[in-house]
Amino acid sequence: ELPLVPDTARMPEAMLAMTSKHFGCTGVVSADGVLAGIITDGDLRRHMQGLLDHTAGEVMTRSPRTIAPDALAEAALAQMQDSKITSLFAVQGDRPRGILHIHDCLRAGMV
């Protein structure tokens, strides 16, 4: 199950999704299911002042880096390394279909 919340979700709900899914991030989707952004630990730190009073849409990083579901894992790893990020959502038609974390690559012996 993907870590996803609607852009209207209050931050306590977004933080619960981040924690319960163990990816260290959560995707933020619009009302029509399009991936609109991502919330990472860095976003939480940048919005510490009054964090719990905000919505996911207010805190998220817009236009997150993504990859196609049929892309090779090597391409995903290269993109994560180049961008200095730890997770990539696989999207098809702007809708999240999966997520890859750098730990998945490590477990597969890619790094």
Q: Where are the alpha helices (DSSP H) in the chain?
A: 11-21, 41-46, 56-59, 73-83, 102-107
Question: pLDDT, tens digit, for every residue of 6-44?
Answer: 999 999 999 999 999 888 899 999 999 999 999 999 999
Token output for 45: 């730190």
Closest among 70, 64, 71 to 3, alpha carbons compared:
64
Which pLDDT tens digit goes with each residue over 43-57? 999 999 999 999 999
